[in-house]
């Protein structure tokens, strides 16, 4: 296994000039952030799990703020741009889309680019409802969607101490960080 391979730059031309090869680090980190408005009359989806609440998140898709942050972190870590580039909200195919399907598609593109997910750590910032009772199901659902063990997925929840739009219950935010490792050569 050559997980530590990374010829960052290697020379290979016959005339003695240095040829810069594409960089393929053994590890890459990715960061994601997302925010959606909270409105009445929508189902609240977080981490692919329906959550009992008076309001839901507004968006073109199911507006799962947590899955969107993770999806962006994965794509960013692999250097593949962002969720808007892969799944534009102007595309009618993604209207009301299950964000779990978008996450599955994103991780398959990450794997196709030569990287595996080692772990993801994320935080939902929401004034209400209390999410502690949903943590285990969110972790399991996200692990299933990404094809990893649940101990590779960590979800935290915080309030915004009643400050700003999140604290006033007008919106929710989520952040995510992922660590990716390169496939062994030839894998």
Binding footprint of Zn ion on the chain (CB under 5 A)? 34, 68
- By DSSP bridging, strand 27-40 and strand 171-182 are antiparallel
Q: By C-beta, is 70 or 182 nearer to Zn ion?
A: 70
Q: By C-beta, is 68 or 175 nearer to Zn ion?
A: 68
Q: By C-beta, is 53 or 182 nearer to Zn ion?
A: 53
Q: How many CA atoms lie within 13 A of 77 on its CB side?
A: 33
The set of residues, in sequence order, having a beta carbon less than 8 Å from that of 69 and lying 6+ positions away, is 32, 33, 34, 122, 174, 175, 176
Minimum distance from residue 4 beta carbon to Zn ion (Å) = 36
Q: By C-beta, is 36 or 53 nearer to Zn ion?
A: 36
118 — phi, psi (to 5°)?
-90, -50
Minimum distance from residue 44 beta carbon to Zn ion (Å) = 13
Q: By C-beta, is 25 or 169 nearer to Zn ion?
A: 169
The secondary element (H helix, E strand) that includes residue 86 is helix 83-86
The secondary element (H helix, E strand) that includes residue 72 is helix 65-77
Minimum distance from residue 180 beta carbon to Zn ion (Å) = 21
- Cα four-point dihedral sign 66, 164, 160, 178: positive
Minimum distance from residue 86 beta carbon to Zn ion (Å) = 13
User: Within 10 Å of residue 9's Cβ, how many Cβ atoms?
Assistant: 11
Minimum distance from residue 87 beta carbon to Zn ion (Å) = 10
């Amino acid at each position: 296994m050559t997980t530590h391979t990374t010829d960052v730059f290697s020379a290979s031309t016959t005339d003695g000039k240095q040829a810069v090869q594409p960089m393929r680090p053994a590890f890459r980190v990715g960061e994601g952030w997302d925010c959606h408005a909270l409105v009445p009359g929508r189902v609240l989806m977080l981490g692919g799990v329906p959550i009992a609440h008076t309001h839901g998140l507004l968006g073109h898709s199911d507006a799962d703020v947590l899955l969107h942050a993770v999806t962006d972190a994965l794509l960013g870590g692999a250097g593949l741009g962002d969720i808007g580039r892969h799944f534009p909200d102007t595309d009618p195919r993604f209207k009301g889309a299950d964000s779990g399907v978008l996450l599955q598609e994103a991780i398959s593109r990450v794997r196709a680019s030569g990287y595996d997910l080692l772990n993801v750590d994320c935080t939902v910032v929401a004034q209400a409802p209390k999410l502690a009772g949903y943590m285990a199901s969110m972790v399991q659902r996200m692990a299933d969607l990404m094809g990893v063990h649940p101990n590779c997925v960590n979800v935290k929840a915080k309030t915004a101490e009643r400050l700003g739009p999140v604290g006033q219950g007008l919106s929710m935010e989520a952040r995510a960080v992922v660590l990716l490792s390169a496939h062994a050569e030839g894998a």
